[in-house]
Amino acid sequence: MTDPKPDIVSVCEREGNRMNLSEIEKPMPGDLCLICGRPAIMAGVFIPENPRAWGAPTGRSRLFRYGLCDECKGHQDTPDKVEKILRSYLNSGEVEY
pLDDT tens digits, residue range 70-93?
999 989 999 999 999 998 888 876
Q: Which residues contact 5 (CB under 8 A, 6 or more apart)?
A: 89, 94, 95
For residues 44 and 66, the answer to whether their CB atoms sit within 8 Å is: yes
For residue 87, the Cα-to-chain-centroid distance in whole angstroms is: 10
- pLDDT the model gives residue 19: 58
Question: Residue 1 pLDDT > 50, yes or no?
Answer: no
89, containing H or E segment:
helix 78-92
Q: pTM to 2 decimals?
A: 0.71
- pLDDT the model gives residue 13: 42
pLDDT tens digits, residue range 6-48?
344 444 444 445 556 667 777 788 889 999 999 999 988 888 8
The SS3 call for residue 91 is: helix
Evaluate the CA torsion angle 40, 43, 48, 54 in order and state its sign. Answer: positive
Domain boundaries, the chain: 5-92
